[in-house]
Structure 1
Amino acid sequence: MSSDPVARLRVLATGLRAAMYTEERIDLPYDRVWGAAADLERELPHLVPFLREFRVPPGDSDRKTALAVGRLGVRAAFEVRLAPGWCLMQSRLVVGGMAAVAEDGGTRFAVLGATRPALLQPLQRMYGGLLGERRSRAFIHTIAQRAALR
């Protein structure tokens, strides 16, 4: 398996037939970009429009169970794997991921969003065709803005 987190996320996106996957270069240092991305409790509600809260238990473990609370109060548990340059979040229905690597004084950043059950694949294809690229580019634009504020 590649040690490049962005390359690993790209492979995962292909395997999941992700509705949302984009990678771009952000003209900010890796530490600032990943610092914002890895701050899940504070930053995810700014990055995901339908998310009101993302509660992550304290501690140093790279595996945690977080609670996502949507704008309408819907709750879902997410298994979170968080390591330098790598974040994978999975619920029963959804997989989300972010990856970053330093690149020429900036950061190559990638974001992934996919559904898990095969039953949701038609919905995923429709979303991907209509909004996936636009939504993932907006996510990266917002992470760049949030990182610039740090």
Structure 2
Amino acid sequence: MGIMTNWPVAELNSVQRLRALAAGVSGAIVLERVVDAGVDDVWAILADFEHGFTMVQPDMRSVEIEARDGDSVTLVARSHYGMRARLRGIARPGYCWLQSRFLVIAMAAAPEPGGGTRVALTGGVRVPGRAAIVPVGVRRELRVSLDRLEGLLGT
């Protein structure tokens, strides 16, 4: 039997990839917004974990990069409430998915046809051992994050 070589190929941009992964997490809410800035400018803030990221995320007081190996990253985050989380995940241009035992944070950015950048965020308190997020307050926090991002971009 020969190898099939004519299978269709579907390519997803970063925002579509985030939507697809979040769809498999019970309680996950994805909030999106088109901002009037280029992808590189948006991602420069979001991927600057120790500075820009903490200014966008409402609950983050500080973030320290503990390890980075290619796309794999480990961060130690501290909240304004004194809690600490070791977040592990993937961070590549335009896409990041991080999780700890009790927390999920994911973000993506992709060029929007017609101009600007579509930014997508999801996250929340994770239910250990399950693909689930407690959705309480998540929508408000994601909206605050997008507002802060726009403020940092000057849009």
Q: TM-score if structure 2 supplies the norm length?
A: 0.80
Q: Does the aligned pair in 1 maintain the 2:67–2:74 contact within 8 Å?
A: no
Match of 1:94 among 95, 103, 123: 103
State the match for 2:150 in structure 1. Answer: 144
- The structure having more radius of gyration, on CA atoms, is 2
Q: Does 1:117 align with 2:128?
A: yes
**Quick check: which one's helix share is greater?**
1
Select between 33-42 and 140-149 the one with higher mean Cα deviation. Answer: 140-149
Distance 1:35 1:86 in 2: 12
Counting aligned pairs with the same residue, the percent is 31
1:1-150 to 2 correspondence within 5 Å?
Answer: 2-57=11-66, 61-103=70-112, 104-114=114-124, 115-117=126-128, 124-125=134-135, 127=136, 131-148=137-154
Per-residue deviation, 1:40: 1.2
Q: Which amino acid aligns with 2:115?
A: G
Unaligned runs of 5+ in 1: none
Q: Which amino acid aligns with 2:72?
A: R
Distance 1:99 1:74 in 2: 25
Q: Which amino acid aligns with 2:63?
A: F
Q: 1:49 to 1:57 in 2, by over 3 A?
A: same
Q: Does the aligned pair in 1 maintain the 2:58–2:141 contact within 8 Å?
A: no
Q: Does the aligned pair in 1 maintain the 2:58–2:145 contact within 8 Å?
A: no
Per-residue deviation, 1:119: 7.3
Give RMSD over aligned pairs: 2.4
Q: How many residues align?
A: 144
Q: 1:15 to 1:133 in 2, by over 3 A?
A: same
Q: TM-score if structure 1 supplies the norm length?
A: 0.82
Distance 2:35 2:79 in 1: 28
